Structure 1
Amino acid sequence: MEEHFDVLLVDDDIDDLDLTSAIIQSLCPAIIVHTLTNGMEALACLERLPDDTLPDLLLIDFNMPLLTGAEVLERLAKEERYDRLFKIVLSTGGVILK
């Protein structure tokens, strides 16, 4: 049986979503990338999945409407079932320094 690694990629910018997914899959075809476009979808998706089918990694954009990446992580932190889920927050937005 071929092993694979599941990634849940969440970003409201479709171009960033497509680019990040393509880069991941080109680097390692065994990685299966599932994509969603907002934090609400991500929470709903994760809540529906049985514990043994949770993704191995959550890559989530920091700046999104509805729920930010930080808000999603706060909610996930309240449930022990997500403790083993690796989480990385991404952002392509710039920072304005004053």
Structure 2
Amino acid sequence: MNQQHYNLLLADDDEDDCSFFREALDELSLPVSLVTVNDGVQLMDYLKANAPNNLPDILFLDLNMPRKNGHECLREIKEIDDFQNLAVIIFSTSLDTEIVDLMYSKGATYYIRKPGEFSKLKKVIGNALAITKDDLKQPVREHFVLQP
């Protein structure tokens, strides 16, 4: 992702979280396009409809969604050849070590615990975009969880 413009996809069923995410992006004043989907079925339909040439640069994926959860979506994404280069950042309220380890082993690019404060949300999204700007590869485990 060497371009200046970010095409982002947020998969999250919580309308407030989606609004805060969009507001944080607006305040960061970065050149971004954001598409949101509200469940895992919508996510997979969107990705399949846009593959392989119009995929987002980064997918921010909530784990707890209706119809198809983030775990199922990540597994499916990693099984589809057209999606192999898609950066998937887990964006969840949980920071359970077992879940983090599982997401790492399943191939997520990074993991972000949703911060409770807007300023921290803005900072962690900015950090995620900066760190993935030139390198979409999964880091070593110690650097997998992004902090605000």
- TM above 0.5, yes or no, is yes
> Where does residue 7 of structure 1 map in the other structure?
8
TM-score by length of 1: 0.86
1:19-62 CA-to-partner distances (Å, cap 9, x unmatched) read 01221232143011111111100000110014121100000111
Q: What's 1:90 paired with?
A: 91
Gaps of 5+ in 2: 97-148
Separation in 2, partners of 1:91, 1:23: 16
Corresponding position of 1:52: 53
Matched residue type, 1:48: A
Q: CA deviation at 1:87?
A: 0.2
Of Structure 1 and Structure 2, which has the larger fraction of its residues in helix?
A: 2
* Mapped partners of 1:50, 1:85: distance in 2: 10
The question of 1:79 aligning with 2:89 is answered no
* Contiguous gaps of at least 5 residues in structure 1: none
Question: Whose RCO is larger (CA < 8 A, sep 6+)?
Answer: 1
Q: Provide the C-alpha distance between the structure 2 equivalents of 1:94 and 1:44, rounded to a whole number of angstroms.
A: 28
The amino acid across from 2:5 in the alignment is: H
**TM-score (normalised: structure 2):** 0.58
Alpha-carbon contact 1:25-1:33 (below 8 Å) kept:
no
Q: Which residue of 2 aligns with 1:25?
A: 26
